[in-house]
Amino acid sequence: MVNSAKLEIRKNKILTAAEHVFGKKGFQDATISEIAKVAKISEASIYEYFSTKEKLLFTIPTKYASDLFDLIEFHLKLIRGSGNKLRSIIYLFISSYEERPDNASIIMLLLKQNKKFLKTEGHLKIKKALRVITETIDEGVKTGEFRDDINVYLIRSIIIGTIEHLVTNWLMTGKPENLTDLVDPLVDVVLEGIRSKERKDSPLNPIKVQIENRQGE
């Protein structure tokens, strides 16, 4: 009898292969047979884990989002100041897409407008990761680092919408070459709009946080 660890390894092998094939070919043109070939297993083995091609597609973001949330949570424990935390969160989001372009393509180009995906565990995991942005902005308001008259939902939407636009444009055009080069300019603009007057007048500049993303190691 195959133990649970081996089953998990095989499942992750399937998901890695599926991420590559879906990311390169899209949902319609990708086939289970091609995914099986990349994973070096039989088609029947894939169907033991995923009853349909769509369910396989929907499962791909689940582990990604869970790992990303854990990574963000770990780094935030080491960082002081809501502005610095926000910079770190945005860096981790953008760098995670840059390091896994096939995954970025699946989320931004295949699943973003899929209503069925909204009901899946993967979507709930992504929402959990994104909720950290709201919590960080709320924290900044409470500590006085950010203005108390800002619309937190609107600021969160601006950040998420900008990230999605930048990543989608990068996927479609290949520009800029390095997505993470846009992190500091984006965060600087956001912080200029939401930082309290007292903090703006402070001679201290916000820390430029550069985090080495060790996700997957």
CB distance 183 to 92 below 8 Å? no
Q: What is the pLDDT of residue 199?
A: 63
Q: What is the pLDDT of residue 33?
A: 96
Residue 36 sits in which domain range?
1-51
Place of tokens 């979507």: 123
Q: Compute CA distances 1 → 13, 85, 135, whole Å.
A: 19, 46, 45
One domain, residues 86 and 157 = yes
One domain, residues 160 and 204 = yes
One domain, residues 47 and 63 = no
pTM of the model: 0.85
One domain, residues 165 and 100 = yes
**Angle 80-81-83 from CA coordinates, rounded to 5°:** 130
One domain, residues 140 and 205 = yes
One domain, residues 104 and 176 = yes
CB distance 15 to 39 below 8 Å? no
Among the listed residues 73, 185, 189, the one whose alpha carbon sits nearest the alpha carbon of residue 131: 73
Q: What is the pLDDT of residue 54?
A: 95
We report the CATH number of the domain holding residue 39 as 1.10.10.60
One domain, residues 87 and 23 = no
For the chain, give percent helix, strand, coil, nearest 5: 75, 0, 25
Total number of domains constituting the chain? 2
Convert the pLDDT of each residue in 108-123 to its tens digit.
Answer: 999 988 999 988 988 9
As a whole number of angstroms, the distance between CA 147 and CA 198 comes to: 10
Identity at 72, one-letter amino acid code: I
As a whole number of angstroms, the distance between CA 108 and CA 104 comes to: 6
One domain, residues 47 and 69 = no
Residue 86 Rama label (left phi>0; alpha psi -120 to 50; beta): alpha
One domain, residues 23 and 77 = no
One domain, residues 32 and 135 = no
**Angle 94-99-101 from CA coordinates, rounded to 5°:** 90
Q: Which residue ranges of the chain lie beneath pLDDT 50?
A: 1, 203-205, 207, 211-217
We report the CATH number of the domain holding residue 197 as 1.10.357.10
In the DSSP assignment, the letter for residue 146 is B
Q: What is the pLDDT of residue 217?
A: 42
One domain, residues 38 and 66 = no
One domain, residues 159 and 181 = yes
